[in-house]
Amino acid sequence: MNVNTRKRVVIADDHAMFRQGLKGMLEGDEYVVVGEAENGHDAIRTVRQQTPDLAILDFSMPLLNGIDAARDIQRRSPETHVVLLTMYDDDTCVFEALRAGVRGYALKTQTSTDLLGALREVMKGAVYLSPDISDSVVNAYVSKTDIKSEVLSERERQVLQLIAEGHTTKSIAAMLFVSVKTAESHRTHIMQRLGLHNIASLVRYAIRRGMIKA
The total number of structural domains in the chain stands at 2
For residue 55, give the 3-state DSSP assignment.
strand
In a shared domain, residues 175 and 202: yes
Q: Where are the beta strands (DSSP E) in the chain?
A: 7-12, 31-37, 54-58, 81-86, 104-107, 128-129
- Listed in sequence order, the DSSP H helices in 9-111 are 16-26, 40-50, 66-76, 91-99
How far apart (Å, rounded) are the C-alpha atoms in residues 34 and 46? 9
Asked whether residue 149 is assigned to any structural domain, the reply reads no
The pLDDT tens digits for 83-105 are: 999 988 777 788 889 889 999 99
Q: Please give the residue range of the domain that contains residue 162.
A: 154-208
CATH number of the CATH domain containing 25: 3.40.50.2300
Of the given ranges (1-15, 150-164, 166-180), which has the lowest mean pLDDT? 1-15
Considering the domain boundaries, does residue 214 fall inside one? no
Q: Is residue 195 helix, strand or coil?
A: coil
Look at residue 35 and tell me if it is in a domain.
yes
Q: What is the CATH number of the domain that holds 197?
A: 1.10.10.10
Judgement on whether residues 81 and 117 belong to the same structural domain of the protein: yes
Q: Mark whether 172 and 105 lie in a shared domain.
A: no
Predicted confidence (pLDDT) at residue 209 exceeds the cutoff of 90:
no
Same domain, 121 and 177: no
Give the model's pLDDT for residue 132: 79
- pTM equals 0.85
Beta bridge partners of 45: none
Band (pLDDT 50/70/90 cuts) for residue 147 is low
Q: Do 124 and 186 sit in the same domain of this protein? A: no
Question: Edge-to-edge strands of the sheet including 31-37?
Answer: 31-37, 7-12, 54-58, 81-86, 104-107, 128-129
Beta strands 81-86; 128-129: pairing state: unpaired
Q: CA–CA separation, 66 vs 79, rounded Å?
A: 18
- Identify whether 54 is part of a domain: yes
* Dihedral (Cα; 125, 96, 14, 114), 10-degree rounding: -40
The string of DSSP codes covering 175-187 is HHT--HHHHHHHH
Average pLDDT value for residue range 139-157? 72
Note whether 31 and 89 are same-domain residues: yes
Q: Are residues 164 and 194 in the same domain?
A: yes
Domain boundary among 99, 114, 143: 143
